[in-house]
Amino acid sequence: MIRTRPMSRRTAATALAALAALPLALRAAPNSKEATPMYGLIGKMRAQPGQRDALVAILLEGTAAMPGCLGYHIAKDKKDEDALWITETWDSQASHKASLTLPQVQAAIAKGRPLIAGFESHETEPVGGHGTMSKKSA
């Protein structure tokens, strides 16, 4: 049987501080080269009127099995029947750039381009969160 003693406030505070710093330590060890940050994009795509579902189908078929892709989410805008939100998480910006040369992605771009009325995107640097695969677990 293991006997435990109550933890002092100081010990508890030290442990909590160490746990809070753990994600930072995993991303860049002090004596190693800093880890390459993840790369993300959040975009709003507008389909031609009445073409949103067709555009969703094209995007879903052309985005499977992309090396380095940790997450690719397509969501319908609830207030705009022609708008989509696309959220991408990549292990690096280089992986995202390389994905644009994949045959299935090139085919999806060619097939979907006539259905797109507009697109706005923003680059991000994902740092984690619920549902985000880390580079380590990918």
Q: What is the pTM of this model?
A: 0.69
Could you report the per-residue pLDDT of 28-61, keeping only the tens digit for each?
Answer: 434 445 678 999 999 999 999 999 999 999 999 8
**Is 7 contained in some domain?**
no
Which two three-digit tokens encode residue 118?
A: 């507009």
Structural domain including 93 reads 39-124
Range picked from 9-18, 112-121, 122-131 for highest mean pLDDT: 112-121
**Is 44 contained in some domain?**
yes
CATH number of the domain encompassing residue 61 = 3.30.70.100
**Is 101 contained in some domain?**
yes
Sheet holding 116-124, edge to edge: 69-76, 83-90, 39-47, 116-124
Residue 127: which residues within 8 A CB-CB, separation 6 or more? 23, 38
Q: 116, 55 in Cβ contact below 8 A?
A: yes
Mean pLDDT of the region 110-120: 96
How many CB atoms are located within 10 Å of the residue 90 CB? 25
**Is 116 contained in some domain?**
yes
pLDDT at 63: 75
User: CA 119, CA 45: separation in Å to the nearest integer?
Assistant: 4
pLDDT at 61: 86
